[in-house]
Structure 1
Amino acid sequence: MRIVLLLLLLTFSKSLVAQNFYGFKNQRDIILSFGTGTTTYFGDLKDNGDYIDPKLNLNVGLQYFFHPNISGRAELSYFRISGDDKDSDFEGKNLRNLSFRSDNIEFNVSAVIHAFPKGIKFYQRPTINPYAFVGIGALYFNPKAQVPATDWNGNPLPDAGKYIALQPLQTEGKSYNKLAIVIPFGAGFKYKLNPFLNLGLEGGYRLTFTDYLDDVSTVYKDHNSFGEDYLAQAMADRRHELSPPKSPLGLKTDQKRGNPDNNDGYFMLSIKIEYYLPPTFLSSHKNKRGKGRYKRAKRR
């Protein structure tokens, strides 16, 4: 699917080259980008060194050059991450038996430093230009997990198999914020396809200020503290799903559930198409309306 999309974009780029030569007589300072790629999560439900479970990301952005080598960029991204103790190579994680998935939205602004200056005119830019970036952003995340078939007492749970949000359940006794600050940084390069289009490849890591992307951070919550909320109890401690079931070690509040010493993070690898917007794109609608009034007046 991604190959087909790339071929369509390249075909479209040929038609852009044939547009009115007026575009060359004016500087194009604003760049629109679209991208897709993969996102890899790093946290308590992922083994160290495991990079084999990437998930889809989509992004759109606007970029403006303030200096021949430096531009500012604003970007909006959607991506999914997930983790499952069943996939771990460590028995201790297998016995914990936790899992999650999360659909996320990130907005960031970054400074992009290019190796070579962009040129006096946009079409005079280098054919290949490496770059690095660093910025700040905001992330919305919402970890979910599937409802178990039964609770700790063996009673069936409603909506078994359905994904539900974990944050309202306070699985560790904490109501964390689903908005987090992130620090994006990374590098990439862009290749000049034609005067109006670039093809780019970019990789960037996100430092986050939360350890709850996966709803796992500290210790088990006391089973008795859930009261009659058997759903929350079963979602917080899923060892009863194992065969044979494990004893509820979570009866004590000091039993380790996650590692609070390291915040969660994620890595995004994206292929991007960049398009240099026409200098009149913001006023094109206004110009068309003016031309229409002129034509009507002429007929009179």
Structure 2
Amino acid sequence: MIRFISKCILVIFSMCSQLQAQIKQPKYEVGAGVGAFVYQGDLAPSRFGSWKTIRPGFVLHGSRLINKTMALRLQLSVASLHGDDAKYNNPAYRQQRNFNFRTSLVELSPQFVWSPLGWADAGKQLSPYVVGGAALSLVRIRRDASAFNAAYFEAEPELFSQLSTDLSTRTPRLMPAVPVGAGMRYSISPTLVLNAEASYRFLFTDYLDGFSRAANPDRKDHYYSITVGLIYRFGRKNSWDCPPVR
């Protein structure tokens, strides 16, 4: 019996040793990516926004691995957003309303990253992950209603007062947001990882596009991004091994 228990202990230690070798990971990651940022709001024809007004952007991020499935990440996104009624002819009123906006966007976001299958080592195929956190964005919104066709909307007098209210409302300069997303990682070497990520930002304002009452005050504005990038891993390696047996 004692010999059997001893063999079991040796097997367990052997398995733990192999596992430790497999899951040693660098502590830190830095990455960069490029992609598309899509506005989703009153000046887009669907709830999912429109690819007719996509804008380019880039992201920079740094991560600290907490354990074999969790990490803390700080991400900086720099992009712009755009919406334009004139891009769409259905419904017909959009080209008569002719609202449009542009804004620059600088977003800083601390996030948690969870990779349920662990941080992919070189040779693994794909490692999915989900991400969520908080964000604060600096924006400079430039709205334009100069092409509004007042004659077309004569039968809707309330629209004129609503537009007047919108144009007299100051647009935000700082916007809090809740980003949530998912992505895939693929390790091409022990230090380099390719990743692709989609991230959706929930906002608390309907003035991302500069219009609310004259558009759709019952629905907040949002935006999302789809990016691809490269991650570099470095630093003294973590070792999440089996606990010692005393």
> 223, 227, 232: which is aligned to 1:275?
232
1:89-138, Cα deviation, whole Å (9 max, x unpaired): 2222221111111111111111111021238xxx5794421001111110
Which letter does structure 1 place at the counterpart of 2:104? D
Provide the residue aligned with 2:240 in structure 1: none
Q: Could you say what secondary structure the match of 1:134 adopts?
A: strand
Contact 1:35 / 1:270 at 8 angstroms: preserved in 2? Answer: yes
Provide the residue aligned with 2:67 in structure 1: 67
Q: Could you say what secondary structure the match of 1:261 adopts?
A: coil
Contact 1:64 / 1:72 at 8 angstroms: preserved in 2? Answer: yes
Contact 2:143 / 2:209 at 8 angstroms: preserved in 1? Answer: no
Shift of residue 175 of structure 1? 2.1
Residue 205 (1) aligns with residue 200 (2): yes
> 31, 35, 38: which is aligned to 1:37?
35
1:266-299, Cα deviation, whole Å (9 max, x unpaired): 11000010001344xxxxxxxxxxxxxxxxxxxx
Q: Could you say what secondary structure the match of 2:194 adopts?
A: strand
- Map 1:206-285 to 2 at 5 A: 206-218=201-213, 257-279=214-236
Contact 1:116 / 1:126 at 8 angstroms: preserved in 2? Answer: no
Provide the residue aligned with 1:116 in structure 2: 117
Q: Could you say what secondary structure the match of 1:29 adopts?
A: strand
Which letter does structure 2 place at the counterpart of 1:36? V
Contact 1:43 / 1:264 at 8 angstroms: preserved in 2? Answer: yes
Gaps of 5+ in 2: 1-23, 151-163, 237-246
Shift of residue 263 of structure 1? 1.1
Provide the residue aligned with 2:188 in structure 1: 193
Structure 2 CA distance for partners of 1:106 and 1:96, relative to 1, 3 Å: same
Provide the residue aligned with 2:97 in structure 1: 96
Contact 2:43 / 2:84 at 8 angstroms: preserved in 1? Answer: yes
Contact 1:204 / 1:267 at 8 angstroms: preserved in 2? Answer: yes
Contact 1:38 / 1:270 at 8 angstroms: preserved in 2? Answer: yes
1:176-235, Cα deviation, whole Å (9 max, x unpaired): 4311110000101100011110000100110011111110111xxxxxxxxxxxxxxxxx
Contact 2:39 / 2:222 at 8 angstroms: preserved in 1? Answer: yes
- Map 1:4-153 to 2 at 5 A: 28-48=26-46, 49-53=48-52, 54-88=54-88, 89-118=90-119, 126-145=124-143
Cα root mean square deviation, aligned: 2.6
Shift of residue 146 of structure 1? 6.2
Shift of residue 80 of structure 1? 1.1
Tell me the distance in 2 between the aligned counterparts of 1:50 and 1:31: 32
Tell me the distance in 2 between the aligned counterparts of 1:148 and 1:274: 45
Contact 1:108 / 1:136 at 8 angstroms: preserved in 2? Answer: yes
Tell me the distance in 2 between the aligned counterparts of 1:212 and 1:204: 20
Which letter does structure 2 place at the counterpart of 1:62? G
Structure 2 CA distance for partners of 1:185 and 1:58, relative to 1, 3 Å: same
Tell me the distance in 2 between the aligned counterparts of 1:100 and 1:172: 12
Q: Could you say what secondary structure the match of 1:217 adopts?
A: coil
Contact 1:135 / 1:185 at 8 angstroms: preserved in 2? Answer: yes
Structure 2 CA distance for partners of 1:93 and 1:116, relative to 1, 3 Å: same
When structure 1 is superposed on structure 2, of 49-58 and 31-40 the one drifting more is 49-58
1:40-87, Cα deviation, whole Å (9 max, x unpaired): 110111111553232101010001111211111100001111111111
Residue 172 (1) aligns with residue 167 (2): yes
Structure 2 CA distance for partners of 1:111 and 1:125, relative to 1, 3 Å: farther
State how many pairs are aligned.
196
1:160-181, Cα deviation, whole Å (9 max, x unpaired): xxxxxxxxx9853222431111
